[in-house]
Chain A
Amino acid sequence: MLLVFIMAIQIITLSGCWDYRDINSVALPQLGAYDIHEESRSGTSDLPQEEKLVDLTVVIPNLSEEVKAKFRIEKTPGLLIGNSRGQKPYSSPGDYSPAVASIIVFGEDEAATGLNKLNEALSRGAKNPHTVNYSVAEGRGENILRVPTDDYSTMGDYLRLLLRSSEKRGFIPSSTLHQFEVDQNPGKNPVMPLLIIKDEKVMVNGAAIFNKDKMIGKVGLKETQYLMMLRGIESNGNLPYILNKDGKIYDYGSLSITNNRKVTMERNGNEFTFNISIILEGGLNEHSSNVLFTQNKDLRKEIEDQVTSDITEGCNKFIKRMQEEYKVDCIDISKYALAKWRKELQPTIDQGFIENVAIKVDVKMKLKSIGELN
């Protein structure tokens, strides 16, 4: 009976197969770049309001092994992302399946105008994962896609390996769709890794600072490091140190460290004081002098102190810059104030809050291991 029923349903429904799409007729974009529309290349169909258009550039690997090119790059303009996808059928065969893309590169100019309108299409499409990695390119995003890759099969492969869990390898923030959305909650602001092209290669060069969905600044690699530590993104990275005595360098080297953050806060009327304690733990990679740690008990302490003062200084400088220049909380501490006085603070937390609070940084460095050499 069961079988008869199933067969009956089959007969009724097999006439449909509405959603059946053969995998070989599907275009599987690996990464995309979202940019402001370039005037020179006009649309393939009549599109409204030329000045508001965006360009969607995607890398689609070629499935057949018989063709020479490993992938092709497709660029279509549109009012927004969904509209740009709608232009694909004119220029490329294959059923466009955006849900498989794993990297999005935003152009710098586009990011400055606000990304929520572009993020929409990815977030609204129910099949899209919210783990797609976001990054900002210096200049146009599509240029990143067009950088020739000989050592990786596609730029997508390269960027995926570069950006996915990048914080495990260095002080590079990684941002996903989910984080981008969550970081726009009251009192929070997103950051994204910043990509540049240098010597025909794509590399990470710092971070992009956002005020909600609008990019407002870029910071270099060194500052990104402080940003990561202040923001409390747990990461592993490499830190150099230089020890001076009487104006003379007597030892230098590098440490591999992991960071951690604890925030406490006090309120006095309308005066807010945040205490950020950054805990760094790590081991020595190398050092230049042949001083033995067992003989010179102070060396370890000196390295720790040096790193502590370096980081404290850098962090304070960064906080100053944030409060004076960016005027947004990109180190994710307002949430602790919200956790206590949400009703009161929530309406004004994003306007003029972070500029007027006192932020104290306390760095603790613990050199836990020195490796196998003495």
Chain B
Amino acid sequence: MKDKAGSTISSKQLIFLIIGSQIGIRLLYLPREITGIAQEDAWLAMLIATIVPIVSLFLIDRLGKRMPEMGFTQMSQALFGRFFGSILIILFIVYVIGFESVVVRIFSEVTKLYLLPRTPLVVIVFMFIFTVVYAGSKGARVIGRLNELLFYLLLVNFLVLMIPIGEADYTNLLPVGEAGWDGIGRGVLIAAQYYAGIEILLVFYSLVNRKDEILKAGIIATGITAVLYVVIVLICESVFGVAGMQHQLFPGLVLLKVVQIPVIERLEFIFLFFWMGMGARPAINMGFAASLSLTQLLKLDEKKYLPYLLMVIGLAMYILALLPPNLLTVFDMARYAGYGFYVIGIVYPLIYLIMAFARGGKVKQSA
């Protein structure tokens, strides 16, 4: 293994890293997407959907336990051979770029809509990508710390989102279970995509300094994410009602506008301060994971070349983020990217595990 001394993260930071990769802009439109399918039972679907990330977590942990010191790239190449391993890694990088460019685009669109209607999208996207590259180039340790700090800062944002609870009407949440297994089931399929981010563990597994705590950390992280998601779904449902919510593109943001508080008048005020952190956080994590895989794939010195490769990945995100013609197309893309999570989060670790079983003891030698 290469020098990892300067780039390990603690298992506590892993919790925040996973949360940070999961929760982003999607928090603001997820209630609409899920209530559109599961109606009043969206929160139930959200809760049941935790099964998917937990399964993913178990698979990755199993896989990691077999080869604890190997990075994602080495693992792939050891299991599938140089050529097929590289293809798998490239697919992963493409997935990350696709997924995060959608996130960056949606965030830039919201920024444009709410804050800077006349500023060209090019500039706003550039600001996001700049932040991603700047933070990502500082290495795994700094990213671990950044996620830790941002989690607490963004908790403020989350609390702000909870203030409109005074406008809530509990009858909007009732009755429970009327969507039926069909509705909830389809809701779960969509809801599970919002836990995408757990797959970052594929890359970060070898960087965590205490491997025995990874499973626990992952479960805690998924639990916290699930609680935050369920709370935001419940608040949106009870404040807007399911029918009313379908008119809002970003019900999470409209929540901020329905109440008036003394002195500073508008809640957005507090919310916007952490806007950048909220928007860039998942992209920083995933972008770093992708560029780390790329450096390992190209067998380059991590310290020296990672920032440059991150720039390349950032540039790819930048171009891809600007490609879709409008926000509605981006939402469609987001849905496809969400299905990509099933591939990377469940199928990847599964075939890796099967391969590892098939190869048995031979893996270590070929590594």
Instruction: Verify that A and B bind, or say they do not.
Output: yes
What residues make up the interface of A, taking CB atoms closer than 8 Å to B? 5, 9, 13, 16, 18-19, 123, 126-131, 176, 178, 181-182, 184-186, 335-336, 338-343
16 interchain pairs (CB within 8 A)?
A9-B130, A16-B119, A16-B120, A16-B123, A18-B120, A18-B123, A123-B247, A126-B253, A130-B258, A131-B257, A178-B257, A185-B172, A185-B243, A336-B171, A342-B175, A342-B178
Contact A129 B266, beta carbon cutoff 8 Å: yes
Considering the chains assembled together, what is the distance between the CA atoms of A91 and B361 in angstroms? 83
Stretch at the interface among B54-62, B110-118, B140-148: B110-118
**18 additional contacts, CB 8 Å, given A16-B120, A18-B116?**
A19-B115, A19-B116, A19-B117, A19-B119, A126-B114, A129-B260, A130-B254, A131-B257, A131-B258, A181-B244, A182-B239, A182-B244, A184-B244, A186-B243, A335-B169, A335-B171, A338-B171, A343-B178
What residues of chain A lie closer than 8 Å to B167, measured between beta carbons? 178
Q: How far is the CB of A119 from chain B (nearest CB, A)?
A: 11
Contact A342 B40, beta carbon cutoff 8 Å: yes
The residue of chain B having its C-beta at the shortest distance from the C-beta of A102 within the complex is B260
Counting residue pairs across A and B whose Cβ atoms lie within 8 Å, the total is 66
Considering the chains assembled together, what is the distance between the CA atoms of A128 and B259 in angstroms? 12
Q: How far is the CB of B322 from chain A (nearest CB, A)?
A: 17
What residues of chain B lie closer than 8 Å to A184, measured between beta carbons? 244
B197 contacts A by Cβ under 8 Å: no
Most buried by B among A126, A185, A336, A342: A126
Considering the chains assembled together, what is the distance between the CA atoms of A370 and B22 in angstroms? 58
Contact B244 A185, beta carbon cutoff 8 Å: yes
B241 contacts A by Cβ under 8 Å: yes
The residue of chain B having its C-beta at the shortest distance from the C-beta of A2 within the complex is B134
The residue of chain B having its C-beta at the shortest distance from the C-beta of A5 within the complex is B134
What residues of chain B lie closer than 8 Å to A342, measured between beta carbons? 40, 174-175, 178
Q: How far is the CB of B36 from chain A (nearest CB, A)?
A: 15
What residues of chain A lie closer than 8 Å to B123, measured between beta carbons? 13, 16, 18
What residues make up the interface of B, taking CB atoms closer than 8 Å to A? 40, 113-120, 123, 127, 130, 134, 167, 169, 171-172, 174-175, 178, 239-241, 243-244, 247, 253-254, 257-260, 266
Contact B175 A130, beta carbon cutoff 8 Å: no
Given A336-B171, A343-B178, A178 and B134 touching (CB < 8 A)?
A: no
What residues of chain B lie closer than 8 Å to A335, measured between beta carbons? 169, 171-172
Most buried by A among B40, B174, B241, B247: B241
The residue of chain A having its C-beta at the shortest distance from the C-beta of B183 within the complex is A343
What residues of chain A lie closer than 8 Å to B259, measured between beta carbons? 131
The residue of chain A having its C-beta at the shortest distance from the C-beta of B247 within the complex is A181
The residue of chain A having its C-beta at the shortest distance from the C-beta of B134 within the complex is A5
Most buried by B among A5, A13, A181: A181
Contact B260 A339, beta carbon cutoff 8 Å: no
What residues of chain B lie closer than 8 Å to A18, measured between beta carbons? 116, 118-120, 123
The residue of chain B having its C-beta at the shortest distance from the C-beta of A165 within the complex is B260
Which listed residue (B117, B120, B175, B247) contacts A339, Cβ 8 A? B175
What residues of chain A lie closer than 8 Å to B120, measured between beta carbons? 16, 18
Considering the chains assembled together, what is the distance between the CA atoms of A186 and B172 in angstroms? 10
The residue of chain A having its C-beta at the shortest distance from the C-beta of B117 within the complex is A19
Given A5-B134, A18-B119, A178-B167, A340 and B175 touching (CB < 8 A)?
A: yes
What residues of chain A lie closer than 8 Å to B254, measured between beta carbons? 130
What residues of chain A lie closer than 8 Å to B113, measured between beta carbons? 126
List the 8 closest pairs (A to B, CB-CB), nearest first.
Answer: A339-B174, A185-B241, A178-B258, A339-B171, A18-B119, A130-B257, A18-B118, A131-B260
What residues of chain B lie closer than 8 Å to A185, measured between beta carbons? 172, 241, 243-244
What residues of chain B lie closer than 8 Å to A341, measured between beta carbons? 175
What residues of chain A lie closer than 8 Å to B130, measured between beta carbons? 9
What residues of chain B lie closer than 8 Å to A5, measured between beta carbons? 134
Considering the chains assembled together, what is the distance between the CA atoms of A316 and B12 in angstroms? 62
